[in-house]
Structure 1
Amino acid sequence: MATDIENTAGAVDAAGVMRLFPARPRLLALGEPTHGEDALLVLRNELFRQLVEEEGYRTIAIESDCMAGLAVDEYVTSGTGRLDEVAERGISHGWGTSAANRELVRWMRAYNARADRDGRPASDRLRFAGFDGPLEITHAASPRQALTALHGHLGARVDATLLPCTPEELDRLLGADDRWTEPAAMLDAARSAGRSAEADRLRLLTDELIALLDAQAPHLLVTASRDDVDLARLYGRTAAGLLRYHHAMADPSPARMTRLCALRNLMMADNLLALAARGPVLVHAHNSHLQREKSSMRTWEGTVEWWSAGALVSARLGAEYAFVATALGTIRHQGVDTPPPDTVEGHLYALPENAYVIDSRRLATALGSPLPEPRVSPWYGYAPLDPAHLAAGDGLVFVRDVPQG
């Protein structure tokens, strides 16, 4: 069996990854089973560099706030701001301090600066995107930023009589931002403002503003660039998604957490589909957000299940969506030691090199039936591979030992 397994594995590089697919995917999703390990981000950075130079990829999208990420994209495309400040402010969940994330942004800016000096077309520039909603574990953002930006975009370009409200009415309905970001609302639905009369009115106004944006598309594409119109659509998606999310936060039913997880991944999927429209994208996030199977997790309200962003995007794009999961051998500084030899990770850990890209369907065949039982992680922050998912995946990256960063 060891020889059969080794025959499914090759070097982790763009050529090895692309050999997994019959054609270049429009969205190539690279998952990770844990967050915060720079070694995995360094691997991601090198793969993205090769995909840019060898396969024509021009955008990377990471599991980060889509609105905050606009500052990073501005830096990458124009050099606006200072690297450390832009990364810390523009990459959410506290990951902007990661040396590997800063190095990604630095390299992208340097690539674009060279493209500018060489006079290459705008289509050759690299772009950065966050594709998560403006959400944290403890709270969701106020819809203020996205909603006022959408209103402002339309107010500057269409007849004022077409707007469903004034900026002053929006401001009054939004109220203080801390009523939206109240941390207690995550555990107590009664503390959420998501089903107030003001929130209901904002949902209606957001729908009308998005409808106006769509109805005025021919005019807007003449008076603004396509990038500006795409940005306005991002504002609309984000405002609508946040208001739906806050509405679900105020739901006292047992389905509350299921709805919240599903809505977050729906926001992710909508952002990824919009990014796919401008060319091939490398996507990087937790495996659970990118897999085709249902995702699940335990919460204080019990186990919840939802369809991931990857499952939703795959349903729309078919073969133009590809998912390569990542599995790990050890994270010793987190108490994750050598995997048991009878697990998938244990079989892969016996291979001599530290990192491989693997044809997961061939691996499933090599492992035979029944497949190994799932590995059990001693640390909550690492989600081992589910062997039952191997045959449905497009590929697998295996990293033998993750060093302490």
Structure 2
Amino acid sequence: MANPITDTVHAFRASALLRMLPERPRLLALGEPTHGEETLLHLRNDLFRQLVEEGYRTIAIESDCLRGLAVDDHVTSGAGVLDEVVAQGISHGWGASAANRELVRWMRAHNEGLPASEQVRFAGFDGCPLEVTGATSPRQSLTALHGYVAARLDADLLPCTGETLDRLLGADAPWTEPAAVTDPARSVGQSAEAGRLRLIADDLAALLDAQAPRLAAAGPQEEKEEWERARLYARTATGVLRYHHWMADGSPARLDRLMGVRDELMARNLLALAERGPVFVHAHNGHLQREKSSMRMGGKRVEWWSAGALVDARLGAEYAFVATALGTIRHRGVDEPAPDTVEGLLYALPQDRCLVDAGRLAGVFGDALPAPRVSPWFGYAPLDPAHLAGGDGVVFVKDMVPA
């Protein structure tokens, strides 16, 4: 019996993907259903190199937005040593990835001798860090923001002095207290000092916007870059303090709010990156899909709107999302998919990897959706057949190879 989805399948090429979309997106997002698989990261690298030929100049990955600045400095100017830059500039422990190292190495080599307007750029777009396993101190982002504004504007315009800011921040240990993850009472996020810091961060961010004609509209490109970084510090400072506020919340919606705050900051970072030109984005499917995301945490179902859903609400057709689906991850106990699942039908195809038109595939199934796949490993989230119509494409990779 012929596979009914054969006519929806294309070769995995950037040119084929862009032809499949109604218009060229400012933000083109490729999701992955699990983290840490080198096969998927090399696939991401291949696609980015092809997209550079199509006019894309920035790659944004699910990594610390502030630490990523060192990687961007390296690929654009050669600052730092490659191994150190990758190890320190890519968070979540993914600096050890050979594929991530190769991405940064290739970007630096590509940029050699090119003018700034033609160079490729690197960005992390995640918080720094904002995870349900812990959170960071707002010190780095807030002091950097204050320092930028203090160096350029009259002291009378600032909401506080640097000394006052340092006193309110206090030691970093209470901000990073691991026990606050499960015990809101251990969080300092709703202390009097934290409340005042939120107001200061908001005032500094507002001051940055109010002084934009002076800080951004005039001067050389270097000054505009510094203003953009100050905007990143402002987004991060306000986002981190908001995250800490909800870590101290004891209501049933606590985890939903924490996940939502993280993705809202992700979305703001992506929208800011899109202002400077087309961006290729890579992160977990759950952060990029248009549908509401969910997972089970602490014995309950947690729901939030993903960064992709938030960006899509702003950009519409200028945002495109391509999910990745997998056949096997045998080293994780994920064997061949059942034939009545989307992954099972794709696994029966001869290609090791392919690009699928998600809209046409959803049309083939109609109301008779395939069965959802169930993963025996918690770290892999199978494709939800009900979400097919909400995506622009699916990249299918038949088998994962251990690193």
Q: TM-score, normalised by structure 1?
A: 0.97
1:100-139 aligned at under 5 Å gives the runs 100-115=99-114, 121-135=115-129, 136-139=131-134
Q: Counterpart of 1:377 in 2: which secondary structure? A: coil
**Displacement after TM superposition at 1:2 (Å):** 3.6
- CA distance in structure 2 between the aligned counterparts of 1:113 and 1:178, rounded to whole angstroms: 41
Which moved further from structure 2: 216-225 or 381-390?
A: 216-225
**Displacement after TM superposition at 1:4 (Å):** 3.5
**Aligned residue in 2 for 1:202:** 197
> AA paired with 2:8?
T
1:3-402 aligned at under 5 Å gives the runs 3-53=3-53, 55-115=54-114, 121-135=115-129, 136-221=131-216, 222=218, 225-402=223-400
- Per-residue CA deviation, residues 105-127 of structure 1 (Å, 9 max, x unaligned), is 00000011142xxxxx3211111
> AA paired with 1:298?
R
- CA distance in structure 2 between the aligned counterparts of 1:387 and 1:166, rounded to whole angstroms: 54
**Displacement after TM superposition at 1:301 (Å):** 4.7
- CA distance in structure 2 between the aligned counterparts of 1:283 and 1:393, rounded to whole angstroms: 15
**Displacement after TM superposition at 1:368 (Å):** 3.9
**Displacement after TM superposition at 1:6 (Å):** 1.2
Q: Counterpart of 1:34 in 2: which secondary structure? A: coil
**Displacement after TM superposition at 1:22 (Å):** 1.8
Q: Counterpart of 1:341 in 2: which secondary structure? A: coil
Q: Counterpart of 1:179 in 2: which secondary structure? A: coil
The question of whether the paired residues in 1 share the 8 Å contact of 2:8 and 2:357 is answered with yes
- CA distance in structure 2 between the aligned counterparts of 1:153 and 1:179, rounded to whole angstroms: 26
> AA paired with 1:266?
E
Which structure 1 residue ranges, 4+ long, deviate > 4 Å from structure 2? none
> AA paired with 1:82?
V
Which moved further from structure 2: 104-113 or 215-224?
A: 215-224
The question of whether the paired residues in 1 share the 8 Å contact of 2:3 and 2:345 is answered with no
The question of whether the paired residues in 1 share the 8 Å contact of 2:189 and 2:244 is answered with yes
The question of whether the paired residues in 1 share the 8 Å contact of 2:142 and 2:233 is answered with yes
Q: Which runs of 5+ in 1 are unaligned?
A: 116-120
User: CA distance change for structure 1 residues 255 and 137 in 2, over 3 Å: closer, same or farther?
Assistant: closer
- CA distance in structure 1 between the aligned counterparts of 2:365 and 2:210, rounded to whole angstroms: 54
Q: Which runs of 5+ in 2 are unaligned?
A: none
The question of whether the paired residues in 2 share the 8 Å contact of 1:257 and 1:301 is answered with no
- CA distance in structure 2 between the aligned counterparts of 1:230 and 1:339, rounded to whole angstroms: 46
- CA distance in structure 1 between the aligned counterparts of 2:198 and 2:30, rounded to whole angstroms: 34
The question of whether the paired residues in 2 share the 8 Å contact of 1:330 and 1:338 is answered with yes
- CA distance in structure 2 between the aligned counterparts of 1:209 and 1:89, rounded to whole angstroms: 28
- CA distance in structure 1 between the aligned counterparts of 2:35 and 2:185, rounded to whole angstroms: 31
- CA distance in structure 1 between the aligned counterparts of 2:376 and 2:103, rounded to whole angstroms: 31
- CA distance in structure 2 between the aligned counterparts of 1:320 and 1:217, rounded to whole angstroms: 26
**Displacement after TM superposition at 1:219 (Å):** 1.1
> AA paired with 1:166?
T
Q: TM-score, normalised by structure 2?
A: 0.97
Q: How many residues are matched?
A: 399
> AA paired with 1:339?
P
- CA distance in structure 2 between the aligned counterparts of 1:123 and 1:69, rounded to whole angstroms: 20
The question of whether the paired residues in 2 share the 8 Å contact of 1:331 and 1:401 is answered with yes
User: Could you say what the CA RMSD is over the residues aligned between the two structures, in angstroms?
Assistant: 1.1
**Displacement after TM superposition at 1:369 (Å):** 3.0
Q: Counterpart of 1:60 in 2: which secondary structure? A: strand
- Per-residue CA deviation, residues 171-197 of structure 1 (Å, 9 max, x unaligned), is 000000111011110010000010000
The question of whether the paired residues in 1 share the 8 Å contact of 2:132 and 2:258 is answered with no
- How high is the sequence identity, in percent, across the aligned residues? 69
The question of whether the paired residues in 2 share the 8 Å contact of 1:254 and 1:301 is answered with no
- Per-residue CA deviation, residues 332-390 of structure 1 (Å, 9 max, x unaligned), is 00000000000000000000010000001111222343101110000000000000011
